[in-house]
Structure 1
Amino acid sequence: METKKKENEKMKRTITLGLFFVLSVLFYAVQAQEPKNYGFEINGEVIGPGNYQNITTIPGVSGMISYTPETKVLKMQNAELLSIRNMENEGMTIQLTGNNSVRTTRELALAMNVSTRITGHGTLMAASRNNPAILIAGSKMGSSSESKTVLTVDGGCTLTAIGTQGICGRAEDKGGGLIIDGATVKATGAMGGSVVELLSFELRGGCAIRQPKGAVFDAEETHSIVDALGQVVKTEVIIEPIVEEEDYGFSIVGIPITSLNYQRIGEIEGVTGSVVYNPQTKVLTLDGASIQASGQAGIWNRENYDMVVSLMGKNKIVTESRSFGGITFSTSGRITGHGELDLSATYSGILLGKPTGLRIDGTCKLVISGGTFGMRGCNKEFRESIRIDGAPLLKVIGLGGGSIAELGYLGLENGSQIWLPRNARFSGEKCAVVDANGEIVKTEILISNVAPESAEKVETEPSIEAYTHEGYLYLTLPCRETLYIYDLSGVLLSSVNLSAGEHRVALPERAFLLRVGDHIMKTLD
């Protein structure tokens, strides 16, 4: 009986020891599966299981930032931090959305001891006042990692690094690889160099060093980006995908519009207001725009077949050129929209070059004046054509050669007709609009699909009285109007807003032509 009791106690001890062993194994297994931290720091605070879901509560953090341990992805969306350091999280990805920044004064903005990737469609500014902005170092002392540390920047993001050094590695350890793949990197290091001490440097996805011109990566001596003279670059280095420039076939103020500048048309000298081009629809939209050109066309459609100029709001084009029109078409085009365009040119308001055609439709309003021609073809033998369809309102004058002249064809469609001068028509023989006597019209031509209220009054009862005396213009207006004064070449000299009643206006030198409002034109006596 005593023997059996001892055997039972022995069995209990064995079971207890076995259970303790199993629990110990499970405990340490759980500990092994859940690390103390994830191997990186934000603003000096180590990120681990206890705080990775509350990164935004760390002092110095703002915006949206989150970490997913399973994918090793740190997401930043319009976030602002003081520093990021990746010590041991091999393959961690920083994914960018919106505009993000890591700025510090005394620390490294971004440092890594293991390979890291920066990607996404956003931007990241890494800046340090007294240290390198980005350090790609070797493995941390005591780390088991034996691989070279590489920073990969891809996915179309933009990374900017500004510090004593912009982006740097350490030639004495296993760090320093930089891969830029289809992304933009801008680096400035005013003291030690912009991109320096890298063991490897690789450009993919069509990327190249764009700035400074002639800069290259010196893999033999400095392991840095150097200029054309072999000196380490300390000014801004720009690396970006080099896209083949596509010419869209038209120019504004003499500047060809291409795939590289079409989104910045408003920055062209002489252009104000909204001028937007859509390459997919081939529509150039003017909305409250002003274009002033000297020696060039305001807009020149060189070879953009069927390009559309769409008018919104009130727009103005002034061109001083003896050979170009305010808008010049060397291939077929169209003017449309619901806005207005005041077009003034020394030579011709609209000029058609080569055998081409222009269609004007919509409900737009065009007031066109030229020192020589209002609207003109290049050569009547080329049979250029203008078709005016439906609702547009055109007021055209060309002082020297004709208001609408040297055209092969003028088509008036869907009710459009010439209202002024009365009984004017297009003559195929003279390739111009002529008056009732068959003479080429050089005064205002009014074209619309409805009879304007001003047509009868302008033709038979001029609504203003004007004369000049000793350098002044004396005139009487029945209502509030704007007075435009041009020289003999059709160049606008000045404009004045006037109320109803009598006025005395000082005339600028070379004054020759008056336009009151947008329907009365007369030469000064």
Structure 2
Amino acid sequence: IVSEKYDLTINGTQVTSKNCADLAAISGVYGIAAYDPVSNTLTLENAEIDADATDGIKNGIEGLKIELRGKNSIEGTGNCLGLLARTSIVGPGKLSLTHTGGANAILVKRPLTISECTLIATSDNCAIAGLDDGSYEDGELLTIRNATVEATGSGKGSILELKEIRLKGCHIASPEGAQLDADSHAVVDTNGNTVKETVIIEPEKYDLYILGTQITSQNCADISSAIDGVYWGKASYDPTSKTLTLNGPIINAEDDQVDGIKSEIEGLRIVLNYDSRILGSGGNGLTLLAQTTIEGSGTLKVENESYSHSAIYVEAPLTISGCKVVAESTGFGISGANTYNDAMRLTIRNATVEAKGDRASISYFKKIRLEGVAIVAPEGARLDEEHHRVVDADGYTTDEKVKIGVKEYDLTINGTQVTSQNCDDLSAIDAVEGTATYDPDSKTLTLENAQISASAGKGIKNEIEGLTIVLKGDNSIAGDEDGLGILAKTSIEGPGTLSIDHTGWLQAIFVKQPLSISGCTIIAQSDARGITGRDDGSYEDGELLTIRNATVHATGSSKGSLFAFKELTLEDCHIASPEGAKLDEDHHAVVDADGDIIKGEVIIEPGESYKLKINGKWITSKNFMDIPSAIDGVEGTVLYDPDGKVLTLMNAQIEAKEGAGIRSEMEGLRIELRGDHNSIAGERDGLSIQAKTSIEDLGTLTITHTGTGNAIFVEAPLTISECTIIAKSDDGGIAGLDDGSYEDGELLTISNATVHATGSSRGSIFAFKTIALEDCHIDSPTGAKLDDDRHAVANAEGNIIEEEVIIQPSITELHIVPSELELTEGQEESLEVSYTPANLVLPELVWGGEAGYEEIVSITPGRYARVKALKAGKTTITVRIAYPDGTIVKTSCPVTINPKEENGGGSGNGGNGSGGSGGSNSNANGGSNGHGGSNGGKHGKKAKGRLSTPVATAQLEGLSLSPNPASATLRILGLEAPAKVEVFGITGIRVMEAETDGVLNIEGLAPGAYVVRVEGRVLRFSKR
């Protein structure tokens, strides 16, 4: 039999069908070496080939696979590998090539792929190279895939003379800066020279460790085979999708001080298929240092026996979704770090989690969020966000097994149980449309434009003690089962409507435990019973119905509309229809004038509401005449006039505890302030403006808000006029609806008023469609302004101001008296500045004039300025006020300076007027003849329209102040009869008002400058 020859030689000997099964028979070959022609595979297992001057392995077989097992080596002076046909070298073993002489460790003439193995090629010429003829033939291709390659070619180069070099799942790790260069067809250094030192190419490494072994591109596809301690099942990692898939492996770290799994990969997905386990003792079972999601249809059980470690340890957001995770440890079950940073968040979404830790079961998280699930066990356990953990019923960190999963609540909708999984969207239940949600924390069922069928069971059946049903919009229940079955204490609240249309033989609303209907509208219609307790004559203690400030329409056309209650109570409402209907305690029902249970429609309505609330309670026709007695938290004088729509506060103190201090829904309401000691304080909005409102009169209102919300919340036009408002809040000061809508109604007008607004968290004055200042200005802080783009009072940078904003009344007009001035060179004249409104304190005046005025006149500034004529000419002088927000108020006075006449007489003083002339018969403003020199020149001074003005601010027309400065007592000298006296601070704010016969007690004033106004006249003094 002639043996078949293969185009493959080992150490110069051809491989044939006769020797291929045991190539170790070839001289210079040791260990195990075999060739399988069927699979075209050459296997080397711990083989050594001593090649001398021939090629260690020379391949001409297309598609040959060289499979490495264990540690293998080839040494020689010829090519260690001469590859003349397409060849692949695969792992998982290692091959070391040592070449000396003029050839190569590996000669590549046809494509070579090195995959999933370790190859070390050392040569004093070329390590891995194509033909050294510059041809770069198409076949000279080198692909390194998920492999470790070390190539050293100290003579000509390490990796060179190749048409193309491809790296897949690996990279050049050394030397630093080395790279593939397509133009050089080699691995080159940073200067573009072929590298001759050792080039190390390694698989890509990922920030994922299994039992302390890093996952790389080389081992990621089959972690179970690559890492000792991972058995059964299979584990793999896909770097493209960042997915670690566990198909039922057991990861055993019981004998090592390492974590079972440790990840620092941001966005890692751990997908569970089947049941997987992690066993640990020296480290954490599962350590997650970057954002991770655990999901899938399987289960992961993590068991750890280290007192100092956790079953699952988290330092970044972890989401467990749609799977089951069991974490048990003698230390901590599921734990974050005790730094509580924002990243340590645990979300459990529609998943089952069981956590048990002898030190703490679930702890050290900044935030724990449960979505579609709830804490099922132990009884009474709950999330404690303040202490960042799950605690027991007494508030202590629990070390019992915490079970989180789907929780059923004692509430059904059309016969379907409400659970933690469906409570966020009850419209998922058949026969429920619109919006319906249940919040188990607050025990609140919210219906918003919901339609519910009562065909498969009661529309709503409640056995949760303390349930609140909140109605928003128009809601309905229809069917032949009970619309509502109240089997535990329940309240129904507004502001919406619920219409129940019952067509069976039962009732629209069945009440077995206390039911309160408050602030909403209920329409309950039934062919049998409307709203009823147990219709058996028992009248049990629980069958209590309270209707509070609500509208109720009840019809039970065959049995009764409202009946069979132990007690039926109406609060802030009355029976409006039918005529003569009343509560009858003997019949436990609403009866007609004859005492019979009414079966037609019964209508109950609230007492007349004036659309005005104080501390959460409506002002109605019942309580408006004595509001402080009717409403808790109100003291002082509070009066409401329903005809004039006027709410008067006279030194009133109002709490904002049960609701906004004052909530206005009354279109055109006027709030009048009397006295300076009106206040609203509390954690609810101080004022809530829901309809057009004005605040006015001369009093003061101080609002101190300490909760979430605003001192003044405005959703409709608000005008603040001729009063003082001090609004201070830890959150928002004076604000519209802070949702970016800037509704047309969110308008704020401040007219000739003083406003202090502080909103230290969100802003002081903001979120308005329009802010208008009339006859007032922003006094502080410096640079503050109205910003139309921000819809707020903002600083120079456009940021909403959160510190105190002060708005003060403005002087709107200035007048110089006289309005024109004519002088002769060398003469002086006084000018007075008058202003409107006259009750304000005049700020600093800035005098000036047109260009060059300083050459014609000099001005001694002040309210009573002195003007001196310097030389003949005409000019205009000006005076202005500049407010901090940029508002300018100014006026001007034309001035004529006549030349001095050499021989003219002196100027005369014209009687009570301001002007005179040098000649006789001169008269200004009705004054007598001037007393100047006779024969005076024609250029005597004239002043037009000048009024008589005081010469000292502490003395006025016979009145003066003494002592001045004063400390405790100030006397008004020259006062002939008792008079009203007002004292103003330097900013214009009134600080004192009194009737006096001439003596004022000023001990309560702070040191500083003040203005006294008495009988329309103004004087100044200082307080020590």
With the length of structure 1 as denominator, give the TM-score of the two structures: 0.49
With the length of structure 2 as denominator, give the TM-score of the two structures: 0.28
- Structure with greater helix share of residues: 1
Larger relative contact order (Cα-Cα within 8 Å, sequence gap ≥ 6): 1
- Higher CA-based Rg: 2
